[in-house]
Amino acid sequence: MPNRLAHETSPYLLQHADNPVDWWPWSDEAFAEARRRDVPVLLSVGYSSCHWCHVMAHESFEDETTAGYLNDHFVSVKVDREERPDVDAVYMEAVQAATGQGGWPMTVFLTADAEPFYFGTYFPPAPRHGMPSFRQVLEGVRQAWDTRREEVTDVAGKIVRDLAHREIGYGGTEVPGEEELAQALLGLTREYDAQRGGFGGAPKFPPSMAIEFLLRHHARTGSEGALQMARDTCERMARGGIYDQLGGGFARYSVDRDWVVPHFEKMLYDNALLCRVYAHLWRATGSELARRVALETADFMVRELGTDEGGFASALDADSDDGTGRHVEGAYYVWTPDQLTEVLGERDAELAARCFGVTEEGTFEQGSSVLQLPQQEGVFDAERVASVRSRLLRARSARPAPGRDDKVVAAWNGLAIAALAETGAYFGRPDLVDAATGAADLLVRLHMDEHAGLSRTSRDGRAGANAGVLEDYADVAEGFLALASVTGEGVWLDFAGLLLGHVLTRFTDPESGTLYDTAVDAEKLIRRPQDPTDNATPSGWSAAAGALLSYAAHTGSAAHRAAAEKALGVVRALGPRVPRFIGWGLAVAEAALDGPREVAVVGASPAEEAAKALHRTALLGTAPGAVVAFGAAGGEEFPLLEGRPLVGGAPTAYVCRNFTCDAPTTDPDRLRAALGG
């Protein structure tokens, strides 16, 4: 019989709807039930494409005996971390403070006041490698609850008090200057893996936000070292197993230092961020590899993550059926030499094995290999390789596909909108711009209420009940601003302004200017989450700083500029110390230091070819964070177009900083030189 999760919209919660565990969603009613029964709360947090979440579910939550014990002695609450990043953040902070590490599934035991007192992540069904079994943990918590209640509540109270004193107070109006950005670059250089690309050791995550900083730093200063780190890292990733050599798109991370074996789940946010990075790398260098990867990644997002409603789904699972009924990580993606021969025949199978690094020993499990592209283009016949790739992709599509988490997350769709809009504009792909516009329409139509308040998620055309957090407002505004620059449709600037109004009034401390991840009127948790450091995505704090800065450049709003600068105070403090973990903040700081440039392109009509040529030139400029307004002379869609006449009756571009402008130009080459393109 389905439990209470059967009525939820989250695919992750729905995966647990038929568990024998009597799950509750996160709700006041769940804690009221714990108080009524005088039992502790088990909080289990995960997400649909989390491999070890599936493992623990199969081992423990699908087990009748374990479920019976849970139902008798606990109120069990299941949370999708992607729907409730606020809940995840505050309890993950507690887990990391108590144990020194974190991860998912996250397992936390709480009082009926939602105060945590015991922590962990994955627990096995039997003792293993020094870890207690899940049943042992449950019995130990129950015994402590029954016999040492005062000690339990004292511990919980102390943890909550300690968390309350962790509030971040960095602020001020000084943005990072030349010295801080140079120190951040030096810090990245020290951590750079010159042999393999990327930063640090295994596991290796795609450093998309740090690369964006490096590209902007190169554009502003001419630093060849910054460009080399960005270019070489992108090439190593694109040639490695972390990149899907057949279908495009990136996996979550590499388990090794060489980018060979990925954790195979594919997330929308990674692919949106990396699509944009590779498009920007092409813009800076003209790299054909960067162009191909940007377009293939964009096509992957549209093809495999696009939803019927026009948005983009969250993720594809790492696991899939291996053909025998077993769910195995990577089964959809890996190949053996025999499988190549079966699809291609011996002659082309030999070519494929050499081209994609498939060996008899294998690079993954049980003699299978993850496809790579270790050789430079030109080593093999391009037409044969294209044929091989097409046939392998067609054969792979007949395999059981990984599961898809088809909820639409506002923030991640904002990232996708920005990536698809810019990639479409750079490479003459109006279908990608249309896909970005479709997702933006969905967010306005379904996620925004009459006051421009955002819902965090939707699924199957139904908005979820959870309120948007700071990253939702900031990343959607970022996407809308990019779409405005690409399309010349000022309505997207207007929508961005509505969202950023919420950032200023509901997420920003009015005195210090510091930012919170949840709104002032959001559900009260044991603490109000606040984190300026980047993780898998730009922090809400850094993303808000970037969107506020761009909006100020578009409109001349002193309030938005001041808020952006206050938000960047934390980057001044943290950038030189932990540059890998505040890369987007550093990228925004580069834009602030450069201006950012304000570019207005006017024509007698936006449809005339000369105007469109100037517009594309403006978009291809590498000046960090430059904003572009495009429309008819005298148009009212963008403030930047006001008072910008044609020169000699020809389409004209104006390049300004802080609303002080250079001489207007009708020459694309002069505009390109002015913007570093």
Written as six digits, the tokens of 617 are: 């030139």
Q: Which residue has the tokens 């200063």?
A: 221
Confidence of residue 363 (pLDDT cuts 50, 70, 90): very high
Is 574:542 a contact under the CB 8 Å cutoff? no
pLDDT greater than 70 at residue 377: no
pLDDT greater than 90 at residue 324: no
Q: Where is 116: in which H helix or E strand? A: strand 116-120
pLDDT greater than 80 at residue 376: no
Give the whole-angstrom CA distance, residue 234 versus residue 202.
17
What average pLDDT does the structure give for the chain? 93
Burial bucket for residue 255 (CB in 10 Å: 0-12, 13-18, 19+)? middle
Q: Which residue has the tokens 């069990």?
A: 76
Confidence of residue 170 (pLDDT cuts 50, 70, 90): low
| DSSP string computed for 393-408 | HHHHTTSPPPPEE--E
Cα–Cα nearest to 545, from 473, 614, 613, 491: 473
pLDDT tens for 192-241 read 999 999 999 999 999 999 999 999 999 999 999 999 999 999 999 999 99
**pLDDT given at position 169:** 57
Give the whole-angstrom CA distance, residue 579 versus residue 200.
12
Written as six digits, the tokens of 627 are: 């904003």
Tell me if residue 27 falls in helix, strand or coil.
Answer: coil
Helices 149-164 + 134-147 axis angle, to 10: 100
Q: Which residue has the higher pLDDT, 46 or 163?
A: 46
pLDDT tens for 531-573 read 999 989 999 999 999 999 999 999 999 999 999 999 999 999 9
Cα–Cα nearest to 543, from 414, 409, 408, 407: 414
**pLDDT given at position 321:** 81
Give the whole-angstrom CA distance, residue 444 versus residue 438.
10
**pLDDT given at position 497:** 98
Confidence of residue 677 (pLDDT cuts 50, 70, 90): low
Confidence of residue 322 (pLDDT cuts 50, 70, 90): confident
Helices 540-555 + 491-502 axis angle, to 10: 130
**pLDDT given at position 172:** 56
Phi and psi dihedrals of 328, rounded to 5?
-130, 135
Is 238:373 a contact under the CB 8 Å cutoff? yes
**pLDDT given at position 611:** 94
Contacts of 78 (CB under 8 A, 6+ apart): 5, 13, 16, 23, 24, 25, 44, 45, 46
Identify the sign of the CA torsion 476, 480, 481, 485. Answer: positive
Taking the C-alpha atoms of 156, 159, 160 and 165 in order, what is their torsion angle to the nearest 10 degrees? 160
pLDDT tens for 104-128 read 999 999 999 999 999 888 999 998 8
**pLDDT given at position 57:** 93
pLDDT greater than 80 at residue 308: yes
